[in-house]
A and B are shown apart, each in its own frame.
Chain A
Amino acid sequence: MADAVSAVGGAEFRGAVTVREVGPTGMITLRGDLGSDAVAKAVKAATGLGAVPGEREIGLDGDKGAAWMSPDELLILVPYAEAEKAVTAMEKAPGKAHALVVNVSDARAHFRISGAGVREVLAKGAPVDLSPDAFGAGTIRRSRVGQVAAAFWLSDTDCFDLVCFRSVGEYMFTWLSTAGAKDSLPGYLS
């Protein structure tokens, strides 16, 4: 199989914050009844996490994770090379219960934005309260950034991970680079 090529080729921008494309990331959509044992088993099989994330939560364990996307949808994060294996494990786990498992790794772009002003960079384009009191670790928010849909969460202090559709990956990188330009932050949230 050909090597996976990410949306903007692992580009990096350094300004007031650092924007970096993480590169190919394994992402799996899991749809089903989130309260069911079947989904809990599938999450455990793919990520090793003992709990299904609650509303607007994300559970992370190293390079694996599970994020709440909607009342019937989770996003499973695994290393790119392990995605197919995880899909197979997840399809087996629920048994006869209904669940949908799809590998969407190649349909997405994954960015990491880090630096002291990272909350302000995202706040320029997302209609979300990004103050530390309102948006803490373990929260995932699906919204828009600039003009495109995206989901983001805190992966570390002053470090956001952001995923969007691959088709708008270049737009997202350009937007983040513009919003994160040097000397462009208002200094309101920090």
Chain B
Amino acid sequence: MLILTCPNCGVSGEETEFTPGGEAHLKRFGPGSDDEAFTGYLFERKNPKGVHFERWRHAYGCGKWFHAARCTVTLEVFGTYSAQTTEPPAHIIDAIKTKRPDWEGYE
């Protein structure tokens, strides 16, 4: 079972209390961008075996969005952090590198 800690209200809940929101830190390409960039924004998602960065919403709790870094193989959660960031913060990266020394890194 996946257990996430909401950084907005401090509640540690199991996954049925949350709603997944897909890949985190997407950069939006809208009007004015070329077709290739727009296609990438719409359809191309990273899907490595292992470390994922995701958006989650505490739907049954405080209702706020946040980000989570977790491993899709073991369901280990490396950390959760504010939704108001455009890339994973340093302490999350460090936590992942400590536990997954051969992780290729973010991007």
Interface residues of A (CB under 8 A from B): 55-56, 69-71, 73, 127-128, 141-144, 149
Interface residues of B (CB under 8 A from A): 8-11, 13-14, 16-17, 59-64
Classify the secondary structure of B's interface with A: loop
Contact check, B10 vs A55: say whether CB atoms are below 8 A apart: yes
Contact check, A70 vs B64: say whether CB atoms are below 8 A apart: yes
List the 4 closest A-B pairs by CB distance, nearest first.
A70-B62, A144-B60, A127-B14, A142-B61
Q: A52 CA to B59 CA in the complex, in Å?
A: 24
Contact check, B11 vs A71: say whether CB atoms are below 8 A apart: no
Q: A172 CA to B8 CA in the complex, in Å?
A: 27
Contact check, B60 vs A70: say whether CB atoms are below 8 A apart: no
Contact check, A127 vs B16: say whether CB atoms are below 8 A apart: yes
Contacts of A127 in B (CB 8 A): 13-14, 16-17
Q: A127 CA to B16 CA in the complex, in Å?
A: 8
**How far is the CB of B100 from the nearest CB of chain A, in Å?**
28
Contacts of B10 in A (CB 8 A): 55-56
12 examples of A-B residue contacts, CB within 8 angstroms: A56-B9, A56-B11, A69-B62, A70-B61, A70-B62, A70-B64, A71-B8, A71-B9, A142-B62, A143-B11, A143-B13, A143-B60
Q: Given A70-B63, A71-B64, do A144 and B17 touch, yes or no (CB 8 Å)?
A: yes
